Amino acid sequence: MSGMIERLTGWPALPDLFGWVETGLPVAHTAPGTYGIRIEEQLKDGTYLLRAELPGIDPAKDVEITVTEGLLVLRAERTEETKDKHHTEFRYGTFTRSVRLPAGAKGDEATAAYKDGVLTITVPIPEKKTETRTIPVQHG
């Protein structure tokens, strides 16, 4: 039925629309079969904090965090349990999110911690010391 609705209207079926409301519109660069990750970002005391909702995963084996040229990529995978289910609204599969780090962030010094279903990534951002310099004007 949902395929027929999409073919007739050009719009996805309602469950997909509800997913968009929950997770945001699909992004063109997201691979098919992957889901987005909800995040919070914060700049505080020379530190960039990224908090990501990742309930029901084992951070030791199901999470991969990489930083390349100022782009932080978070990837997680949640596998489906084999128990019989009558109904589920959980999402299983691969979850990804890419975030551009603030200028000057030291991605190579990033740390991560997982607690109560939330992954927190901390990236130091050294404060830039600005100097004021007086430039003499020559008259000629």
DSSP assigned state of 49: E
Strand pairing category for 71-78 and 63-68? antiparallel
Query: 105, 123 in Cβ contact below 8 A?
Result: yes
- Output the CA torsion sign for 49, 53, 55, 61: negative
3 state SS of 114: strand
CA angle 44, 46, 52 (to 5 degrees): 50
Structure token digits, residue 18: 């509800």
Two structure tokens written together for 4 = 């027929």
The pLDDT tens digits of the residues spanning 78-105 come to: 887 767 767 877 788 899 999 999 999 9
The pair of three-digit structure tokens given for residue 51, joined into one six-digit string: 């908090």
Sign of CA dihedral 79, 65, 72, 129: positive
Q: What does the pLDDT read at residue 121?
A: 97
> The pTM is what?
0.67
pLDDT of residue 127: 80
Render each residue's pLDDT in the chain as its tens digit; 140 residues: 445 445 555 555 444 444 444 444 444 445 556 788 999 999 988 999 999 999 988 999 999 999 999 999 999 998 877 677 678 777 888 999 999 999 999 999 999 999 999 999 999 998 877 788 888 899 87
Q: Which of 124, 114, 28, 115 is nearest to 64 (CA)?
A: 114
Q: What is the pLDDT of residue 25?
A: 46
Task: Give pLDDT, residue 86.
Answer: 77
Which domains does the chain possess? 1-30 (no CATH), 33-124 (2.60.40.790)
